[in-house]
Amino acid sequence: KAGVTQTPRYLIKTRGQQVTLSCSPISGHRSVSWYQQTPGQGLQFLFEYFSETQRNKGNFPGRFSGRQFSNSRSEMNVSTLELGDSALYLCASSLGQGGTGELFFGEGSRLTVL
């Protein structure tokens, strides 16, 4: 069974640009969560989608947005990039929303903003 796939793995952008990251969950998983990982802030929750609906949202500005498609694939977008957006963005999938199930993580998309 294929794991969670995130693309691209690495990307470099400049301030003011926008970026779209993609996540394909494990087959059959309907919930997708996004996290931002930085050395200073650790793992910060961005949002969670289940059945194409955003179910939870973290404390990030409106520049960060996401969506989920009918096949459970998800994308997140960051507009007007800032230097502080440089981070590893991790996507995780699970069978259902929250509950007792663990999350399965992809290897992440490492974004560098210059």
Partner 1 sequence: AQSVAQPEDQVNVAEGNPLTVKCTYSVSGNPYLFWYVQYPNRGLQFLLKYITGDNLVKGSYGFEAEFNKSQTSFHLKKPSALVSDSALYFCAVRDEPGNMLTFGGGTRLMVKP
Query: Applying CB under 8 A, which residues contact partner 1?
Result: 4, 33, 35, 42-43, 45, 48, 55-56, 58, 90, 92, 97-100, 102-108
6-to-24, 39, 44 alpha-carbon distances in Å: 6, 20, 18
CB of 22 to partner 1, least distance (A): 15
CB of 50 to partner 1, least distance (A): 9
Contact 79, 63 (CB under 8 A): yes
When the beta carbons of 12 and 14 are compared against partner 1, the nearer one is: 12
69-to-13, 59, 87 alpha-carbon distances in Å: 25, 23, 24
User: Token pair for residue 49?
Assistant: 């989608």
CB of 100 to partner 1, least distance (A): 5
When the beta carbons of 16 and 96 are compared against partner 1, the nearer one is: 96
CB of 62 to partner 1, least distance (A): 18
When the beta carbons of 11 and 104 are compared against partner 1, the nearer one is: 104
The per-residue DSSP string of 25-45 comes to PPTT--EEEEEEEETTTEEEE
